[in-house]
Amino acid sequence: MKKLFPILAALVLLATACQMGGAAQPTAIALPDSVASPTPVPQGETQSDAAAGETRTAAADGMVEVFIPAGTFTMGGVDPLASTDELPFHQVTLDAYWIDKAEVTNAMYALCVKAGACRLPMDLKSQTRAAYYSDTQYADYPVVYVTWLQAKTYCEWAGRRLPSEAEWERAARGDDFRTYPWGDQLPDGSRANYNNLVGDTTRAGSMPAGASPFGVFDLAGNVAEWINDIYDSKYYSGGLAVNPQGPGGLTTIFNHVVRGGTFQDTEANIRVSKRSSVLGSNPNALVDSPEWLGTYSPKIGFRCVSD
């Protein structure tokens, strides 16, 4: 596969150029409005001028970003299905930030590849589709088969970063004790792509009924999302209560948190507090070695945040 990268890169870049008319200028993806239609906020507007749920459009890739104000929320499992690594639930205070309204798409990722900042996904298919990444009918579907390092690289290219676990959970839960982004009602096919109802990815932002309190989409099901934090099953017992960034000093551990569950997961695994651990990239290992790459999957994508 590694020897095919140059050929695949050329083919995908050609396809990308055709689908975008040869232009590298992004346009905002067409995301349906959530229950409350937020007012766009210009890219340069300061956080103090924004309100919860307001949006702006990122210059690099056209992603719609949603504003999450500074505040304190309850993090961790508060429902009967909570696992031990979701306990104890605890209060966490976060500074304000912006989060991508939906998962990063194939078309957006292709901009980074075309710019020479990102590698192609590790595979160009999806769970059931032999052609996916370079097929224009899936341009607005979440990019998959990306490693943790590829996700991190993309976010940095776009002027953003991978979210912390706490940032992801607050965007999904809001400031109450809900089990799912939309509330405590059990999921169904109108709110989430889960439990193999579809068997593969769906278009980013195509289920507004499943939006979080801030109007963020796809935080339950579709694809799981890479998080910046290293995974520690006991982190909640002694983690920081203000802007936590995950456990530090674990220089030999590269398992990262993934959040949100996948299109195959049951209702228990798409709860807002559900934590999963996946082997991420080891940047100190030999380039292109299995350790350097880490895990990649048709069920893992990502979204970004910015300060």
Residue 40 lies in a domain: no
Residue 64 lies in a domain: yes
Q: How many domains does the chain have?
A: 1
pLDDT of residue 54: 97
Burial of 50 (0-12, 13-18, 19+ CB in 10 A): buried
Tokens at 125, concatenated: 């298919």
pLDDT of residue 28: 43
pLDDT of residue 251: 64
Residue 60 lies in a domain: yes
Question: What whole-number distance in Å separates Cα of residue 86 and Cα of residue 271?
Answer: 11
Q: Which domain holds residue 295?
A: 2-20+50-306
Residue segments in the chain with a per-residue pLDDT below the cut of 50 = 1-29, 31-47
pLDDT of residue 15: 40
Helix (H, G, I), strand (E, B) or coil at 40: strand
HSE-CB for 151 with a 13 A CA cutoff = 33
CATH of the domain at 151: 3.90.1580.10
Answer whether the bond into residue 163 is a cis peptide, omega within 30°. Answer: no
